[in-house]
Chains A and B, each alone.
Chain A
Amino acid sequence: MLAFVLRRIALTVPTLFALSFLTFVAIRLVPGDPIEVRRGERGISPERLEFFRHELGLDQPVWKQFLDYIWGLMHGDFGVSIISQDSVLREFLTLFPATLELSLFAMLFAVVFGVPFGVLAAVKRGSVFDHGLMGVALFGYSMPVFWWGLLLVLFFSVTLDLTPVSGRIDLLYYFEPVTGFMTVDSLLSGQEGAFSSALSHLVLPAIVLGTIPLAAIARMTRSSMLEVLEEDYVRTARAKGLSPFRVIGLHALRNALIPVVTTIGLQGGTMLAGAVLTETIFAWPGVGKWLIESIFRRDYPALQGGVLLISTLLVLVNMTVDILNAVINPRIRHGR
């Protein structure tokens, strides 16, 4: 077991190295000069441009730049944003909790609704309920996220005036971030109404981001549950006269959930991609929106560091899912 975990961890090291190489090369392939953004709308003198070029090390040979970059990475230096002159890592870390909070709530939403719906559909297999639910899930699974977000805003925020349009909390409330999670910080601040404000800002973005995972989880739960319900031990339990609730709740569900957990892990990665769109629509100050804006602002160091950080995170998540899978299911670790 330990050997498997170590092997799996060791596998990520070359991946991470290759990843930093890939981002480095990719960013340099983007046409145009990163210095240009310093030009502003009114032009800049050539001497000034040279100075910046030198300051950012762009006058060095490319291999030297790469070594400097790797050297910096090993010391936790992901570069400095051209636009804000702030450390890329610090920018990422201040924005990341917002993305994480949104993703967690979206996942919560997806699991809380997805699993029961999947179970119900499996139990009432073939019923109108089953067909209806799976139909809805199919639509959820096929949803263009950006469009869905716009529709929900139009309906709930603009027409019904039930939820805020964008942002993380009503601006009336102000407190220093402690955890970076608005829901937690608002409680810590002790300000009346702050928590409900933070929560109400989360509702729509979490629904939008959670829609596809919800549909995926519901579908997976249903098919996994159907398989388990066919198993002998479930039939035996039924035959013993146990109440259907106990059979499903205790025996079937526990086993049916194993592939569902994997799905949840995989959806975590999808969420990072989905967060880009969701954050853009809801002006949610997270890393997804920041990445997109870095591209539009042509903030190359931020883009390079941001892509690397997000991908590293994804690699680590996948590694954890793999290891967890191996823990649950011994067949895997021998299979490799």
Chain B
Amino acid sequence: MADDVALAPPSPARALWADFAVNRGAVLGLAVLCTILIIAAFADVIALHDPMIQFREHVLQPPVWAAGGSWEFPLGTDDVGRDLMARIVHGARFSLFIGFSVVVVSLAVGVCLGLASAFMGGLVDTLISRVMDLIMSVPSLVLAIVVIAIIGPSLANTIVAVTVVYMPRYVRIVRATAQAELAKDYVTASRACGVGPFRLAFVTVLPNCLAPLIVQAALGISDAILEAAALGFLGLGAQPPTPEWGAMLSSAREFIQRAPHVVTLPGLAILITVVSINLMGDGLRDALDPKLKRS
């Protein structure tokens, strides 16, 4: 990954798309992800019911394809009679929101810390690198749980906890690529022309570090979604009645034998989302990183 010599300057979007489109799996992943995004955006229109309304006569009703199901609740209802389809569709919002927020925040913080580390060097570099090492030395879920224990469980805090866990990756990548770039002639040239350090960092160097960062960010969304779902499963994520997939799955766990759909369907939603993001991320990596292209 550090083999940046082969990295062309940022290619036009069309060239990137051409590289990306070669990979049919990646295109499929992107298509599925777009579908999920659309579903999330239009959740209110797509869902037949309000995800919070409890239909007390229809508790744990099976999905339409099973005996006892009906089109009124296509995916059945949950343990207090809420429409499962509405909850899953709305849940897409939360999961994607968590995934994207974590990545955006980690990227922002990661870029700043990583550039600071690479440009300032010395004590700042040592300090930042050591702290990141430290964070990475605690198993991710354990760290997330400790953070939640400190700040309390909620949707917003889930984002904080997962960000804390995943941010060091971005710092490391930015630092490593920026350091490699710093040694190159164009940087020296810019410096000689009197470009200020701030401009040098963000305008000159950063764009050339983007490729690995984009790949990491794409794959990071799926990691964040999984981690947040795991927290939800342990009851430490989004609080009821928020239709977060992990939490939905966990609160219905006791019905796994009587009404398996309440456990299988939210899990399936997580899986499909994560798979599509990973497919797309893989394609993006192949397209951006010529070394691994078409392998």
Contact = CB atoms under 8 A, between A and B. Distances in A.
Asked if A and B form a direct contact in the complex, defined as CB atoms under 8 angstroms apart, the reply is: yes
Interface of A: 14-15, 18-19, 22, 26-27, 29-31, 135, 138-139, 141-148, 150-151, 154, 158, 223, 226-227, 269-270, 272-274, 276-277, 280, 291-292, 295, 303, 307, 310-311, 314-315, 318
Tell me the dominant secondary structure on chain A's binding face: helix
A144 B230 contact: yes
A303 B138 CA distance: 13
Given A18-B130, A26-B146, A144-B229, A280 B137 contact: no
Contact of B149 (A154, A272, A280, A295): A295
Contacts of B290: none
Interface in B245-267: 246, 249-250, 253, 256-257, 260, 263-264, 266-267
Contacts of A227: 295
Tell me the dominant secondary structure on chain B's binding face: helix
B73 interface: no
Contact of B142 (A30, A151, A307): A307
Interface of B: 25, 130, 133-134, 137-142, 145-146, 149-150, 152, 222, 226, 229-230, 233-234, 246, 249-250, 253, 256-257, 260, 263-264, 266-267, 270-271, 274-275, 278-279, 282, 292, 295
Contacts of B246: 144, 146
B125 to A, nearest CB: 14
A223 B142 CA distance: 31
B151 to A, nearest CB: 9
Given A146-B229, A276-B139, A314-B139, 10 more contacts: A18-B130, A141-B278, A142-B274, A144-B229, A154-B257, A273-B142, A276-B141, A303-B149, A311-B138, A314-B138
Nearest to A25: B150
A30 B230 contact: no
A15 B126 CA distance: 12
A29 B256 CA distance: 37
Given A143-B271, A144-B274, A227-B295, A150 B139 contact: no
20 contacts: A19-B134, A27-B146, A138-B282, A142-B222, A142-B278, A144-B229, A144-B270, A145-B230, A146-B229, A146-B250, A147-B271, A148-B267, A154-B260, A273-B140, A277-B234, A310-B138, A310-B139, A310-B142, A311-B137, A311-B139
